[in-house]
Each structure stands twice: as C-alpha cells, then as structure tokens.
Chain A
C-alpha cells in the first residue's frame, strides 16, 4: 500500500457541475459535507476486525486500512500476486480512458485526495476466491484506488464489503481488467448506518469470451453513488449487472451504470431493483451504448422500483444509444407499491400483515442476492435479508 502524500488538501476542491445530467439530481449539500471532511491520520482507522464474520470456505480475506500494510505476501493464496506500484501506474486509467471520462468529478476527487493504491493479479488458469473488507475512517474521508488484473482463463470470485457508521466518506475507484476466457463473479456489499457517504466507481474492461457478473447492494448511506462502468473491448463477452438499492429515512442513494460495446456479439443482462422507504430518494441512470461496430448485440435492462411509504422519491432514467442495426435491445422500468393481491393472498394463508410484507420483500431481494459469491449470509448482521 502506498499513500501518496503529495496531494494538496481537497478543501478548496470545486463542486460538480450541477448542470450536467449526471449530477443534476444529487443533493449538493451532501457533496459539500464530503469536501469539508478532512483526511485522517493512520491511527484513526475504525477497527472492527474483531467483529468480522468467519471467512468463507476456500477463500482469502484482505482488510484494506489506510496506510497499514498488513498483507503478508507469503500468505497470499496460490494464483494471487500483488501488483507493484510502478505497474499500477502503468495500468491505471486504462479502462477508465476507454469509457471517455475526461472530467469525471468522482475521479478528480479521488486523485486529489491522499489516495491509497492497491493492486492484485489473478494469474492465468487459476481459481481464486477473495473477500476484501474496506472499513471507514472514523469521521474522515478515505480514498482508495484499486486495480485487479484477471488473466486468461482464470476464475475469480470477489466479495467486497464497504461499511461506514460515522460521518465518514469513501471514495473508491477500482479498475478491473478481464482477459480472454476469464470468469469473474463480483459482489459488493455496501451498507452503512445512515451517516456515511460512498462514492464508488467500478470500471471494468472485458476481453472476448470473458464473463463478468457484478451484483451489489447499496444501502443506508447518507449519500451514495455507485458507478459500474463496463466496456466490452471487442464485444463477444457476457456481462451481468444486478443491483439492489435500499433507501430509507432521508437517504439519497444512486446508481449510474454505463455499458459500452466496442465490438459485435456482446451480451448484457441488467436488473436494477430499488426499495424506497420514508422520505428517501433513489436514483438510477443506466446508459447502454451500442455503436455501429457492435452488431448482433443482445442487451436487456430492467429497472424495478418498489415504493413502500408515501414520501419516497424515485428517479429512473435509462439511456439507450444505438447505432448498430442488427441488435436486440430492450429495456423496461416500473414503479409500484406492494401488490395488495399478493399481501391478501399471504394473509389469507394465515400470515400476519408484517410477515407477509417481509416475505414479499425477501422475494424481491432474492433475485439479486442469489448471485453473490462467497455466502453472504455470513454478513447478515448488516442486513437480515442476506439469510435467504
């Protein structure tokens, strides 16, 4: 881990352009709170390593703390290799540049902060299961830059767990380079207790015949912005995106996804679900970009929103840009409340009203939670829904 101390203070950092479509709906007051946070010293790290659940079978756990290098290279499982700082520099921005990010505010913030870098290589033909835990820095901003290179024909299960309890903020920018024939099952549990902020960019580039599945849960942040951005470099790859957003109290949770097909015969299946309670605000923006070269692309996007209380707010905006003519692209969006009929049916079978509601919600979440790697039921202290 290599803290970069040369960065200037971010106090003077300018706010994102509210006129831009992707920041228009974001509560700027909450962004200001991030900028006003100072960056913490090493010892202020929240340490909850004693409370962590058991490690899943046949997997390895890494806890990413600021400035503490507690990864023993010798203990890394077979097939995993730390990437050197110089190599990280070489690779960094590679996938991000492919997605035309010139003035991305989230990346700028990450660059300006005292960013920690960390990189891992999953070597050819190996199968690795890894859990990465990113705890908060109490009442401080924590910026991380991660790089994963998944080499040819390897199989990589990754579960990231990002948490926050205090008025802290995470800025995590990660890049994953997936080579030919590699299969990645990526899960992210991003759960907070209502005060912290999360800005997470997940930039992924896929070579042909690779398979990338990203499932995530976004819950309990004062403000969150999860940005999965995937580019199929030459098409002919498969991508699954499954997001569950649970917005409560007065939280503002958002997902901005972008998928670009730079070659023919790509596949995408995207399902985004939200549950909104109290006066929370849930935002989804999903770009699918199919240029002329991407013939025979097959892309499906579905957004479902479940409003559970009167005051919740939902914004959903699919964006499809299609130039190739031989494609199949579909998208759908729904906003609704709990089905009276379903509730009635369950109650007529003897379930209490609250139990019936819970059962429906559980089923609603199951579509997403079923696809996480590394048994997430272990993390049920964060959300009881994880026990399916």
Chain B
C-alpha cells in the first residue's frame, strides 16, 4: 500500500454514530418569532426573568448581521425553516432511570455512554442531552453530598433561579454575536455545574449531546461556576445521525472561575461531518468563553475537533484576576470537504496573567483547516506571558491549512511568543519507521499521533469512551 493510500484509509473511516433513533418526539412548529420564544419558555415553565432574557436577546438578534468575516462560505441558512424545540415525548424528567424509554438508554449505550446503574462509567457523572432536552443525569446524589450541583440548565432554572439569574449571560452577553444572541433567545437545554467554595469535585463531570432530528437546531447552553478554591474537570461529547441536510448547532458555554478556582473543559466533538461530497453535516457555530475572575484562577480548554461540516469556534479566556491562567489545547482534524475555523482568544487584563496556546491542525482531502487566534495584552497586564504554538499537517495536495495568529499588546512588561509551522508527513521519517518493520499504515498513524501528543495528553483519562471516537479515526493507539 502506498503512503497516500494508507493515509486515505486512516482519515476516512466511516462515521459509526450515524444511526437514527426511532422515537416519538414532540416538536413545535418551524420558525422563530416572539410567540415561539414564549412557547419554549412556557414549556420549560421558566420564571419571568428568563423569558425577558430570551425576548431581549431575540430583539437584539433581529438587528444583528450574520457574520461573514471568516469567509467560510456556506449556503444561506433559513432561520424560519428550523425547529427550535424538540423533545422525546413524555420525557418529564424521570425520578429513576428505569422509567426512561429503553430506546433512549439504548441509544446512549450504542454511543458508548451507558446510563444504567450497573454499567455506568465509574467516576464519571453524565448529563445526557437528546435533541433539546436533558434525559438523565447520573451520580447526582453522590455529588450533592459534596454540595456540587450538576444538573440540566432547565432543572437549574427551577431549583436555583438565583444562580442562573446572576451568572447567565455574564460571560457571553446576549448580544455578543449573531449566534450567541440566537442561542440566548431559544436555548433549550444543557448542563449546569456549580462547585461550592473549597470543593474539589470528586469525579469527572460529563455532558453528552446527541442531535437526533434532522430539522431541529440544537442550541444548548452550558454554565459552569467554580467558587473560591474549588476545581472541576468537565467533558463534553457530541454525535449526530447522518442526514443529507445541514443541521445548525449554535451553543453557548460560559465558565466562571473565582479566586484560586480551576476549571478544565474538554471536548471531543464528533458531529456528523457530511458525506464525501460535503453534503449534509452539522454547522457547529459555538461561542465558548471562560472568565477567570478571581486571583490565581485557571481555565483550561482542550478540544479534539473531528466532526461537523463546518466548525466555527474560539474557546476563549478573559484573564482578569491577578496571576490567572488560561490554556487552550486543540487538535482539529478535517477531511473531505469539512471546514474547521477554530482557535482561541486570550484576553490578558490582570497583571501577571499567563496563557498557553497549543493548536494542531491536520487537513486531508479537500478540507480547509484554519487556526485563528488573538492574544491581547491590556495596559494593566504587567508581567503577563503568552506562549503560542500552532502547527499544521497537510495530507494530500488539495487540503488547505491557514494560520491567522493575531497579537495585540499595550504593555511593556510582557513576553509574547508565537511560533508555527506547516509541513507534511515526512518521507524520511516514514521510511525510517518502515525500515524498522512498521507497516505503512501504522507508521502514518504513529506520526499523526506524535504530532498531536501535546494536546492528547491533556485529555482526562476518564474520557475513555469519547477517546474511542478518536480511536475510530486511528489517530491514537492503533499500534500495540
């Protein structure tokens, strides 16, 4: 097998999560207007402040323009042709899992996320979101012993409205951008995490997002608050069935870290990416932002982006607290006609803040993979440091790798370093490995895996089931 064949095989493994669950869902009519928003809010029995939040966001959204600066080039989205709320029927949050539709449990089991008591992943609490609603959250009681709140946003709105009112939209304002405003108006569900003062969360928290309906947009909202001296590691996974239409996913994630708190947020994004000709797939337009409010707080983003027709997201850190730390570790793999435009923003406001950016892009087929990042050092960020590294690996001569690292500094006492490289799989290295008796395929796989190692090392071990989707792409660990 020639080198190119081996590479082609490795990067074009079929999508194994493309099945559709046949389940009766309740959907509202297509389109977006004030009545739809009132209806969503009513269905979720929301307090008045939240309805107001949604309506204000909607009014602002109407006046916002869909951004085009990234030159991503997708056909216009008809926002009136999307269903903004879909839920499996009778899914009023069940007290125990036995009451949950077995079909749903089976779906998540197929995805490698067993929700059943016996089969649960040890030491990982899971919130499973199916289309617009949260199906189940495991280990809730155990977490509650430590005062940790882990539930769906909808539940949090009912049980902890004060926290929601205080923090929702405080990091990503409702009019932050076009897609964040849309999300603020129609967000359906998502996860809510609250770690009280001084608590180290005893287990990994994880949300699993599944889009099932083809005509439904998914607009989940995640809010994580880490009080003083607390810490948490949160994992997020995503899959969707194969449809030949494009589905919009516009999520908003807000993280807040107070003094000495630390949040680690990991994502394995494996939405359906469309077929070889680029038909179908998810438009993944996400706003993720963390706010290091407290002194010595830390927010770390790690992501493995392998799915979606178009990924457009920049998980960012606002480093306000003195000596706060922001990190961004990313692997983005694109194939066929996928587009990934991803990167981060590190906004240094407070003194002695530090940030690290490690981004690895792998583009194969006819795909387009861009790193776009901003490092901004404000005038008060004395003694701040940033180190950025973004490397690209090109496989095949039709793929595109772009790098747009932007640095803005207004402070003398800083140190900003950026380096980047673009290269292909080196013939010499490949030859060397093969001469040691390693097959072509394994050699390529080893090299890709070595290329991503710095990032993959950041993923929590417990993310085993999600890392599995990586294995499917043979990015990692196929060599015994």
Interface residues of A in 287-333 (CB under 8 A from B): 292, 295, 305, 307-333
B162 an interface residue at 8 Å Cβ cutoff? no
Set of chain A residues within 8 Å of B418, measured between Cβ atoms = 318, 331-334
Please give, as numbers and ranges, the residues of chain B lying within 8 Å of A325 by CB-CB distance. Answer: 394-397, 399, 424
Chain B contacts to A: CB under 8 angstroms: 69, 377, 379, 392, 394-424
- Set of chain B residues within 8 Å of A15, measured between Cβ atoms: none
| A331 partner residues in chain B, CB cutoff 8 A | 403, 418-420
**Is the beta-carbon distance between A305 and B409 smaller than 8 angstroms?**
yes
Bound-complex Cα distance A337 to B412 (A): 6
Which residues of chain A have a CB within 8 Å of any CB of chain B?
21, 292, 295, 305, 307-337
Q: Is the pair B404, A319 in contact by a Cβ cutoff of 8 Å? A: yes
Q: Which residue of B is nearest A289, CB measured? A: B402
Identity of the chain B residue whose Cβ is nearest the Cβ of A300 in the assembled complex? B421
Residues on B with C-beta less than 8 A from A295 are: 397
Q: Are B403 and A333 within 8 A (Cβ)?
A: no
Q: What are 10 A-B interface contacts by the 8 Å CB criterion?
A: A21-B69, A311-B379, A313-B408, A315-B406, A320-B402, A320-B422, A322-B392, A330-B419, A331-B419, A336-B414
List of A residues within 8 angstroms of B422 by Cβ: 320, 322, 327-330
CB nearest to B418 among chain A residues: A333
With contacts A318-B420, A324-B394, A332-B418 known, what are 12 further pairs, Cβ within 8 A?
A318-B418, A323-B399, A324-B397, A325-B396, A326-B397, A329-B423, A331-B418, A332-B419, A332-B420, A333-B407, A333-B418, A335-B414
The answer to whether residues A327 and B402 also contact, given A315-B407, A333-B418, A336-B414 and a CB cut-off of 8 A, is no
Min CB distance A273 to B, Å, is 15
Which residues from A are CB-within-8-Å of B401?
A: 320, 322-323
Per the bound structure, the CA–CA distance linking A321 and B368 in Å amounts to 10
**A319 to B372 alpha-carbon distance, docked (Å):** 9
B392 with A333: CB separation less than 8 A? no
In the bound complex, residues from chain B placing their C-beta under 8 Å from that of A319 are 402-404
Provide the bound-state CA to CA distance between A330 and B423, in Å. 9
Main secondary structure of the interface of A (DSSP, over half): strand
> Across the interface, do B416 and A333 meet the contact criterion of CB distance under 8 Å?
yes
A21 / chain B contacts, CB cutoff of 8 Å: 69
The B interface is mostly helix, strand or loop, or mixed, namely strand
- Give the shortest distance, in Å, between A361 (CB) and chain B (any CB): 15
Most A CB atoms within 10 A — which of B398, B410, B412?
Answer: B412
**In the bound complex, do residue A321 and residue B424 qualify as a contact, i.e. CB atoms below 8 Å apart?**
no
B458 to chain A, nearest CB (A): 23
Determine the residue in chain A with the shortest Cβ distance to B421: A330
Shortest distance from the beta carbon of A286 to any chain B beta carbon, whole Å: 11
**B424, A335: Cβ atoms under 8 Å?**
no
Return B180 CB to nearest CB of chain A, in Å. 20
On whether the beta carbons of B379 and A335 are closer than 8 Å, the reply is: no
* Set of chain A residues within 8 Å of B379, measured between Cβ atoms: 310-311
Given contacts A319-B404, A322-B392, A335-B409, contact A329 B421 (CB under 8 A): yes
* CA A295 to CA B423, docked complex, whole Å: 11
In Å, the complex CA distance between A354 and B56 comes to 58
Report yes or no: A332 in contact with B408, Cβ–Cβ below 8 A: no
Q: What is the CB-to-nearest-CB distance from A15 to chain B, in angstroms, rounded to a whole number?
A: 19
A336 to B407, CA, bound (A): 12
Which of A305, A307, A327, A333 is within 8 Å of B405, CB to CB? A333
Q: Is the beta-carbon distance between A308 and B412 smaller than 8 angstroms?
A: yes
Question: How far, in whole Å, are A328 and B422 apart by their CA atoms in the complex?
Answer: 6
The smallest C-beta distance from B423 to any residue of chain A, in angstroms, reads 6
Given the known interface contacts A313-B408, A313-B410, the answer about A326 and B424 at a Cβ–Cβ threshold of 8 Å is: yes
CA distance A292 to B406 in the complex (A): 25
Cα-based distance from A308 to B401 in the complex (angstroms): 35
Q: How far is the CB of A367 from chain B (nearest CB, A)?
A: 18
A57 to B398, CA, bound (A): 51
> Given A313-B410, A320-B402 in contact, is the A336-B415 Cβ separation under 8 Å?
yes
How many angstroms between the C-alpha atoms of A307 and B409 in the bound complex?
A: 9
Given contacts A330-B419, A336-B415, contact A322 B408 (CB under 8 A): no
**A321 pairs with B402, CB closer than 8 A:** yes
Given A305-B409, A329-B422, A333-B416, answer yes or no on A317-B404 (Cβ-Cβ < 8 Å): yes
Whole-angstrom distance between the alpha carbons of A320 and B377 in the complex? Answer: 23
Q: Which residues of A contact B377 (CB under 8 A)?
A: 335
Specify which chain A residues have a CB less than 8 angstroms from the CB of B397 in the assembled complex: 292, 295, 323-326
Contact yes or no, B400 A333, CB < 8 A: no
Q: How far is the CA of A27 from the CA of B268 in the complex (A)?
A: 42
**Distance (Å) between the CB of B294 and the closest chain A CB?**
26
Bound Cα distance from A323 to B366, whole angstroms: 9
B421 touches A317 (CB 8 A): no
Pairwise interchain contact B398-A292, C-beta atoms closer than 8 A: yes
Residues of A within 8 A of B411 (CB): 307, 310
Q: CB distance B409 to A313 under 8 Å?
A: yes
Q: Are A310 and B412 in touch, CB under 8 angstroms?
A: yes
Q: Is the CB of A307 within 8 A of B407?
A: no
Q: Please, which residues of chain B bring their CB within 8 A of the CB of A330?
A: 419-422
Residue of A nearest to B401 (CB): A322
- Give A305's nearest chain B residue, CB to CB: B409
